[in-house]
Amino acid sequence: MSNQTIEPVMNTYGRFPITLVEGKGSYVWDDQGKKYLDYSSGIATCNLGHVPEVVEKAVQEQLSKLWHCSNLYHIPNQEKLAQVLTENSCGDQVFFCNSGAEANEAAIKIAKKYGHDVLEQDSPLIVTFKNSFHGRTMATLSATGQQKIQKGFTPLMPGFDYLPFNDKKALEQLKEKKPVAVLLELVQGEGGVIPADSEWVKQLESICKEQNILLMVDEIQTGMGRTGTLFCYQHYGIEPDVISLAKGLGSGFPIGAIIAKEHVAKVFSPGTHGSTFGGNPLVSTAGLATVKHLTESTVLEEANTIVEYIWGKLQQLVADKDQIKAIRGKGLLIGLEVDGNAIDYVNKARMDHQLLFIVAGTQIVRVLPPLTTTKAEVDHFIDIMNKLFN
């Protein structure tokens, strides 16, 4: 036996050497009592900041009532959450699961079922886009248009094909490929914070309509107000057939979902898809409190004031600093293209300035403030950025 110690947790993450133990609003504290401005938001998840009161209160109440009962029984807050999501989107029915990858799994399954049942296809194809990211399960990594995510996990799942992103001419190929569905991110997040071009998206929608192809948007990172509207598709004036969600939906409680239009949703029937935990009483309560707050309070309106403010300040910074080459993104999903390795800036920001943000690829610093951040916090952030890129 070797006397080398083996870490009990598998080595799947490159972790930063700090331990976070508390959070409130835009701030987190580590186990040494050090306070950080958190502009990573648990990777675009804590959109209402850490431990938002409205969600905390609702969850506290639910905690003493019922946590879990399975989907063999009615779950009132799950039904209410579905109601709020459909009232505020172009979709009609919701399926709940536990994560982003599972939401995309549900989207992939519903599209295949639609292909078999409605279009009478034997082998339905789903087209996704190069440089996309849709998850780490076998189906979602097969859907992902990045070989580095797929490496070591072949054979991939069949039934996926990939087109270049933001390429109008390539869309013509959809007419020959005749997929049952396309799945895309409207801002490629993990792929480097790259927004889809509006005209390209409109053209995609019109080809989908003309060719009877389902338009499915992966709003796992862009949804729940992250880009300034509840869903990012609302910026583009399109109506997707399926929307996948997770991250910000539960403010940190693990809940994912797909919202689908009725003609698609109806291909699922009892026994075709399911989940033990999906939308259980506890996570649905967190989701309901989150989405009600996003849709009924002024939080999105206030976030849009911040969007304008932070973009103005960052654009000035890009103009002033040679080490920042460009800014891109939408709302509070912001990418800064830097000279050199993005991770070096992330490490320096954390160690020297107690500021947390993350990377997207090697050259993009990804800034994800909570929607609730204040102008004073943005000023503090910009002060740090001025020192970081001196």
Q: Which residues bind ligand PLP (CB under 6 A)?
A: 99-101, 104, 133-135, 185, 189-190, 218, 220-221, 246
The beta strand positions in the chain, using DSSP E, are 20-24, 27-30, 35-38, 93-97, 126-129, 160-163, 181-184, 187-188, 194-195, 214-218, 242-245, 256-260, 324-330, 333-338, 355-356, 358-360, 364-367
- Nearest distance in Å: CB 250, ligand PLP: 11
- Nearest distance in Å: CB 382, ligand PLP: 26
- Nearest distance in Å: CB 43, ligand PLP: 6
The 3-state DSSP class for residue 387 equals: helix
Query: What residue type is assigned to position 385 of the chain?
Result: M
- Nearest distance in Å: CB 228, ligand PLP: 17
Q: Which is nearer to ligand PLP, 216 or 388 (CB)?
A: 216
- Nearest distance in Å: CB 222, ligand PLP: 7
Total Cβ atoms within 10 A of residue 200:
17
Q: Which is nearer to ligand PLP, 190 or 377 (CB)?
A: 190
**Residues facing residue 258 across a β-bridge:** 95, 244
Q: Which is nearer to ligand PLP, 282 or 388 (CB)?
A: 282
Q: Which residues contact 62 (CB under 8 A, 6 or more apart)?
A: 77, 281, 282, 285
Q: Which is nearer to ligand PLP, 14 or 270 (CB)?
A: 14
375 vs 310: CA distance, rounded Å: 8
- Nearest distance in Å: CB 289, ligand PLP: 20
Q: Which is nearer to ligand PLP, 52 or 189 (CB)?
A: 189
Q: Which is nearer to ligand PLP, 146 or 378 (CB)?
A: 146
Report CA Rg, the chain. Answer: 21
- Nearest distance in Å: CB 221, ligand PLP: 4
138 vs 148: CA distance, rounded Å: 14
Q: Which is nearer to ligand PLP, 370 or 384 (CB)?
A: 370
- Work out the angle between the directed axes of helices 53-63 and 281-296 (0-180°, nearest 10): 150
Copy the structure tokens of residue 210: 């003309």
